[in-house]
Chains A and B, each alone.
Chain A
Amino acid sequence: EAGVTQSPTHLIKTRGQQATLRCSPISGHTSVYWYQQALGLGLQFLLWYDEGEERNRGNFPPRFSGRQFPNYSSELNVNALELEDSALYLCASSVTGEESGNTIYFGEGSWLTVV
């Protein structure tokens, strides 16, 4: 069974541009989570989607946004890129986050470099 898949693996953008990252969850999972992991730092929660709706949002500015599609895949958009947005962006999925105790499984991540 396929795990969480993310694309692209690497992305290089110029400051001020927009970046779009994509994620396909494990089959049967309806919740998708996005995390940012800057070099040497911990996982920072960005967004949580379930059944097509945004359920929770971390302490990030509005230029970080996303959406979840009817097939439960998701994309993360980062507008007006800044140098400090350079990081590994991790997508995870679970069998609905609306229940307790569900394990979240991660993809391999997308490296975003802003120059």
Chain B
Amino acid sequence: EDQVTQSPEALRLQEGESSSLNCSYTVSGLRGLFWYRQDPGKGPEFLFTLYSAGEEKEKERLKATLTKKESFLHITAPKPEDSATYLCAVQGTTSGTYKYIFGTGTRLKVLA
């Protein structure tokens, strides 16, 4: 069964304390892996798309990496404004059609 698991569920960091969020996936025919940031009560904001193992993308303090089984979102020297829920999603093929599957997210709190 296609599945996306994110860990940890919640993470508290001190400002400047770097860490990584994990997204493990099982999907038929991975076509893309996506990271989003979601602030409370708002829609998810797109961060990165990764397509193949070994690919990396960076944006400000965030860096996303992809292997054949998982993706990491590395946060370097985080600031309080990085506090949000980070969602991972994969696009796979099921019964001949494409399907997006979301994880339940990691709630990140960065303390000043």
Interface residues of A (CB under 8 A from B): 4, 6, 33, 35, 41-43, 45, 55-56, 88, 90, 97-109, 111
Contact = CB atoms under 8 A, between A and B. Distances in A.
Interface of B: 31-32, 34, 36, 41-46, 49, 51, 87, 89, 91, 93, 97-100, 102-105
8 contacts: A42-B104, A45-B102, A90-B44, A102-B91, A104-B34, A104-B89, A104-B100, A107-B43
Given A106-B43, A106-B44, 14 more contacts: A6-B43, A41-B104, A42-B103, A42-B105, A43-B44, A45-B99, A56-B99, A90-B44, A100-B91, A100-B93, A102-B32, A103-B49, A105-B46, A106-B45
A41 to B, nearest CB: 8
Given A103-B32, A104-B34, A106-B36, A97 B98 contact: yes
Secondary structure type dominating chain A contacts: loop
B49 A101 contact: yes
Nearest to B36: A106
Nearest to A108: B43
Q: Which 8 A-B pairs have the closest CB atoms?
A: A100-B31, A106-B43, A42-B104, A101-B32, A43-B102, A108-B43, A106-B44, A109-B43
Nearest to A94: B100
B44 A100 contact: no
Contacts of A100: 31-32, 91, 93, 98
Contacts of A108: 42-43
Contacts of A97: 98
B65 to A, nearest CB: 17
Nearest to A109: B43
B104 A90 contact: no
A108 B41 CA distance: 8
Contacts of B34: 103-104
